[in-house]
């Protein structure tokens, strides 16, 4: 039907715009009608064939093993990817495996996915780190905007500003006042220079107008141990990592970084509630694919991942530790990643952070 309508439209335009040309009253040259018809038919048929082929591929996808490349084993991103893979294996009736490729701020795994076939069978599980890297590294071996397609948001976890339960800082206001009086002598830990926990702390400093002394560690658990021992004054910790110590009363929360309270843990006040209504920064996990994967396949992956993450058991497992399921369609996730890149770029620029 659409093809017939196209032809009729072409004829109407052609009759109006074109006139036949006659040479020596005998030879009639093509007015352009034949050429125009042929060209438009060829273009229409070509586009239709390509669309039909892409849709057929998407319907058949997946028909073999899918690999999700993730950072180091045991990381929050790795754990999320493994939970997802379990349910996608059931949904897709094909094995979904996790391959860990840690190192270089995730660049090793990212490059592995970029250089894989653009068929949707090799995906990347990464985190807020993907949006942070372009800001903190002078040079990356890939283009974070042009090399991969943003597919799907999976989870979002707030940070929590923690101190030792016996520290003199009982509220965020206490910490801010002490920081200003000490002229930056207080110490804060992070999981490394340019890490998400470092940038979350710098975001707090820039929002509240304080500066303090940074002590980088290799991991969040190491920082927490020194906060417990009183060797570090505070830490912007991933909520799920700090939660066991908050439950036992060994750590004190001065505020979580989500804009709204966690429904499962309403006892934890947000930083936004304490006079900074726009404060909102979280650790999130998402999925990417090589940039040239057909759009219909990307859309199918997004839809199926959203479906898997809404499983009652998955939601219950994550929400018990303060991890929120974040459902977005592909355009929404793309816009979110771009906004996160801009946010972290601003934080890094103001703080003057560079890894290399």
Helix, strand, coil percentages for the chain (3-state, nearest 5): 50, 20, 35
Model confidence, pTM: 0.83
Pairwise CA distance, residues 136 & 132, whole Å:
6
Identify the H or E element spanning 163.
strand 148-164
What is the predicted pLDDT for the residue at 13? 44
Cis peptide leading into residue 62 (ω within 30°): yes
- Please name every residue paired with 131 in a beta bridge, in sequence order, or none if there are none: none
132-147 average pLDDT score: 92
Determine the 3-state secondary structure of 256 from DSSP. Answer: strand
pLDDT tens track for 327-345: 999 999 999 999 999 999 9
Q: What is the DSSP string of 206-229?
A: HHHT---EEEE-SSHHHHHHHHHT
The most confident of the ranges 41-55, 242-256, 308-322 is 242-256
Pairwise CA distance, residues 178 & 162, whole Å:
15
Of 32-36, 150-154, 273-277, the poorest mean pLDDT is in: 32-36
Pairwise CA distance, residues 198 & 14, whole Å:
64
Cβ atoms 200, 156 nearer than 8 A: no
19-36 average pLDDT score: 44
Identify the H or E element spanning 21.
strand 21-23
Radius of gyration over alpha carbons of the chain, in Å? Answer: 27
Q: What confidence category does residue 35 fall into, taking pLDDT thresholds of 50, 70 and 90? A: very low
- Please name every residue paired with 251 in a beta bridge, in sequence order, or none if there are none: 164
What is the predicted pLDDT for the residue at 227? 98
How far CA 354 is from CA of 24, 86, 214, 271, in Å, comes to: 77, 38, 14, 27
Of 49-53, 57-61, 253-257, the poorest mean pLDDT is in: 49-53
Question: Which residue do the tokens 């998407």 mark?
Answer: 58
Which one is predicted more confidently, 22 or 222? 222
Pairwise CA distance, residues 308 & 85, whole Å:
9
Q: What is the DSSP string of 127-186?
A: ETHHHHHHHH-S--SS-TTTSEEEEEEEEEEEEEEEEETTSS--SHHHHHHHHHHHTS-S
Token reading at 237: 């910790």
Token reading at 277: 């209504």
Phi, psi of 73 (to 5 degrees): -60, 135
What is the predicted pLDDT for the residue at 46? 55
Which one is predicted more confidently, 35 or 95? 95
Write the CB contacts of 69 (distance below 8 Å, at least 6 apart in sequence): 99, 100, 101, 109, 112, 113, 122, 123, 124, 125
Mean pLDDT over all residues of the chain?
88
pLDDT tens track for 225-241: 999 999 999 999 999 99
Buried b / exposed e across 11-32, counting CB within 10 Å, b at 16+? eeebeeeeeeeeeeeeeeeeee
What is the predicted pLDDT for the residue at 303? 97
Write the CB contacts of 334 (distance below 8 Å, at least 6 apart in sequence): 150
Burial class for 276, CB neighbours closer than 10 Å (0-12, 13-18, 19+) = middle
Cβ atoms 150, 305 nearer than 8 A: no
Determine the 3-state secondary structure of 96 from DSSP. Answer: strand
What is the predicted pLDDT for the residue at 138? 87
Q: How many distinct helices (H) and strands (E) make up the chain? A: 12, 12
Cβ atoms 149, 290 nearer than 8 A: yes
- Please name every residue paired with 125 in a beta bridge, in sequence order, or none if there are none: 287
What is the predicted pLDDT for the residue at 103? 83
Nearest to 333 by CA among 286, 280, 298, 296: 286
Question: Which residue do the tokens 């006079």 mark?
Answer: 275
């Amino acid at each position: 039907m659409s093809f017939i309508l196209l032809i009729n439209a072409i004829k109407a335009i052609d009759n109006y715009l074109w006139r036949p040309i006659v040479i020596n009253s005998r030879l009639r040259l093509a007015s352009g009608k034949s050429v125009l018809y042929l060209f438009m038919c060829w273009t229409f048929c070509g586009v239709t064939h390509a669309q039909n082929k892409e849709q057929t591929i998407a319907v058949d996808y997946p028909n073999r093993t899918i690999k999700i490349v993730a950072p180091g084993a045991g990381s929050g991103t790795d754990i999320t990817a493994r939970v997802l893979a379990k349910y996608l294996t059931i949904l897709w009736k094909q094995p979904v495996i996790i391959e860990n490729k840690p190192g270089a701020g995730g660049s090793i795994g990212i490059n592995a996915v970029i250089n894989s076939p653009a068929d949707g069978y090799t995906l990347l599980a990464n985190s807020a780190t993907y949006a942070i890297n372009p800001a903190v590294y002078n040079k990356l071996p890939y283009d974070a905007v042009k090399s991969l397609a943003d597919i799907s948001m999976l989870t979002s976890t707030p940070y929590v500003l923690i101190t030792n339960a016996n520290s003199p800082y009982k509220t965020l206001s206490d910490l801010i006042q002490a920081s200003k009086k000490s002229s930056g002598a207080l110490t804060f830990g992070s999981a490394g220079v340019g890490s998400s926990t470092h940038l979350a702390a710098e975001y707090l400093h820039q929002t509240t107008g304080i500066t303090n002394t940074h002590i980088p560690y290799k991991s969040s658990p190491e920082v927490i141990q020194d906060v417990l021992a009183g060797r570090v004054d505070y830490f912007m910790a991933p909520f799920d990592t700090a939660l066991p110590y908050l439950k036992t009363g060994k750590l004190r929360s001065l505020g979580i970084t989500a804009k709204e309270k966690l429904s499962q843990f309403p006892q934890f006040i947000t930083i936004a509630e304490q006079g900074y209504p726009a404060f909102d920064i979280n650790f999130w996990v998402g999925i990417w694919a090589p940039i040239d994967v057909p759009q219909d396949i990307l859309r199918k992956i997004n839809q199926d991942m959203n479906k898997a993450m809404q499983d009652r058991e998955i939601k219950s497992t994550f929400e018990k530790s303060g991890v929120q399921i974040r459902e977005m369609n592909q355009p929404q996730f793309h816009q979110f990643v771009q906004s996160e890149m801009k946010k972290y770029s601003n934080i890094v620029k103001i703080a003057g952070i560079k890894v290399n």
